[in-house]
Structure formats: structure tokens, C-alpha cells
Amino acid sequence: MAVCDALQHRLRRTIPVYDLCTSLELQSVELPPEATLNKAHCHVAVRDVADRRRLSGVVFHRYRRPFATVMVARRFRCVAVIDVWMHYARFLSIEGLVILLDNMTRRDGRMRRTTLEEVRRELDRAGSFQGRHKCVRALRLARERTDSSWETKGRLALMRYGLPCPSVNYPVLAESRKMLLDMAYPEWKIGIEYDGGHHAMQWKDDNRRREKLERQGWRIITIFVEDLASESAEESAARRVADAIEQVTEKPCPLTDRQSLEQLSDGRRWRYKTLQCRVPSLPEADGESDLAGYDRIMEEESAGQRMSGEPG
């Protein structure tokens, strides 16, 4: 905030509109892990090219499309988080956009800034913009009510090797106590917990919790940060989950070759249900299912790219 205060003092009569990582930090949203922008700089959004200036430590981003704004701490005007997410499409991969969207729709109400339904609606209204194709794909893979970006990375890692998308923060009643599993396949009573490293007391609590769940018939698999450090580590983690599924179902659960998120989010796979993934639990609007709406957007985007020659 001190950097933004200093900028506003330099600009005097002009109130800047903060964008991208500057806006997210002011609105207390966890930044995406991809370090594509210099956080030491203030990032400012403008509509008119004449509003761009040469100021040290300030990066101006011009947008032709209108964007919503919010006031933070009664003195900082910021681009609203959904528009920030769409602006980030120029800089982030599909994975980065999925993680950021999960960050914006946290389970903790103090950290939740929007919902997937609101994002879907705003994306539908936004029209054409650079990176929209990636946003549509990322929205298919995002899930609400997560607790950390590492959980998101773990979920995507399992899907990359052909496993179904697990439910997130799945509630379980164990010995009269409600517990939440980071990820779960409830039909097989398999839970997946992410362990980022805790102090001794937390470790003891986690073990007691695990014992209660196991007494209820759940199989618990723990994923550590090391399990997400490389492609081979992710494959090993997916293999552990697949082995547990095989033990429960007594049927083979082979992994696929590693798939890209572009492959996982392909609209044709979702439309014809060729992807081993649960359909996003978003409400239907105007009689059209969300997947049908997504496919319509994808078709419009592809048609626009063929006419304009814009890359996807």
C-alpha cells in the first residue's frame, strides 16, 4: 500500500486504477505462481492511450474493453477481480489461470472474492479479447471452495494422468465430527490430503484425524510438496491413487500418458464425455447447460480467430 500511496502522491489529481498483481495484492488475493510480472512495479490499467505515461516503477496496460473497478481501503481504485483474471490471460498459462480462479473462489469466506457462476456470466458478456480462449478452457477445470493453490496443482496432476477429477473439500462425518477432505473420490471412499509440512502438534492432530477416517472405511493418501515437484513425481502420486482405486474396485485403473491442460479442457472431450472428469457443478441459465454455453463460446472464439488470424 505504501508504494501505491507514493504513486498517487506523484500523480496528484489523477487517481490510478490498479491492475493485475497490484490489484490482487490490494484485494488480498493469492497471486498466481507463475512469475510473469514484476511485483515490485505498480501495474495500472487505462482505456485511453493518452493516459499512458513514462513513470519509473509503473507499468501501464491499455484495454479497449471496459472493466469494472472497486475501491479498497477507501483510497485505492482497483480493477475488479474477474476482470483482473481476464487481463491475466495475456500472461498466464491455462494452469496459472485455473490456480488464480481457484484462489479467487476460496472456501474461506474471508478469502472468497467471487464465484464460478459470476465468472462464467462475466466471461460470456466480455466479448472478444486476447486470451479469452484460454479463459474458457481454464473455467472448465476450475473448482470452487479450495484452500490452497497446492491442492489445485495436486488435483490437476491427477487429471493429467487420466484419473477422474476428485471432489474438493469433501465433507465426511466421522465419530460425530464433520471433517473436510482436501480431495476425495467418495464413491470409492478414497481421500487425498495435501501436507505442506506442519509443526509437531499439527502432525499429531492430522494423525488422529486420519485414524478416525480410516475407522469409517476411508483410505487416505497423503500428497506432499515433493510429489508435485516434477512430472515423474506427479506420475508417481497418480499411480498411488490409481493403486488405491484398483484395490477398492478390484478392476484395473491404468494411467494414461501425461496430458496437457489444453487436452484436458478441450470442448469436444467435455461435450462427448470422453474425458474422465466430473462436469462442473454450475447452475444452468436460460435453459442452456454451462457446458453447452462453454462450447458455444469456444466455437465463436475459434471462428473469430480464423477470420482475424489471431492465435488461440
- Strand ranges (DSSP E) for the chain? 17-18, 42-46, 58-62, 69-72, 76-79, 167-174, 177-185, 190-195, 219-224
Higher pLDDT, 249 or 281: 249
Percent of the chain with pLDDT over 70: 84
**Unique residue bearing C-alpha cell 480467430:** 305
- Residue 48 burial class via C-beta count within 10 angstroms: exposed 0-12, middle 13-18, buried 19 and up: exposed
Cβ-contact 275, 261 below 8 angstroms: no
Domain ranges of the chain: 2-141, 149-249
pLDDT of 302 over the 70 cut: no
Number of neighbours of residue 229 by Cβ within 10 angstroms: 10
The pLDDT-based confidence of 51 (bands split at 50, 70, 90) is confident
pTM of the model: 0.84
Q: Which long-range contacts (CB under 8 A, 24 or more apart) does 64-72 make?
A: 65/126, 65/127, 65/129, 69/17, 70/27, 72/26, 72/27
DSSP class of residue 288? B
pLDDT tens, residue by residue, 244-269: 999 999 999 999 999 999 999 987 77
Question: Quick one: average pLDDT of 8-33?
Answer: 90
**Unique residue bearing C-alpha cell 482475424:** 308
Q: How many residues does the chain have?
A: 312
Q: Domain 149-249 carries which CATH code?
A: 3.40.960.10
The DSSP-derived string for 209-254 is HHHHHHHTT-EEEEEEGGGGSSHHHHHHHHHHHHHHHHHHHSS--P
Our separate counts of H helices and E strands in the chain read: 12, 9
Tell me how far apart the alpha carbons of residues 138 and 67 are, in angstroms, rounded to a whole number: 20
Percent of the chain with pLDDT over 90: 66
pLDDT tens, residue by residue, 89-141: 999 999 999 999 999 999 999 999 999 999 999 999 999 999 999 999 999 99
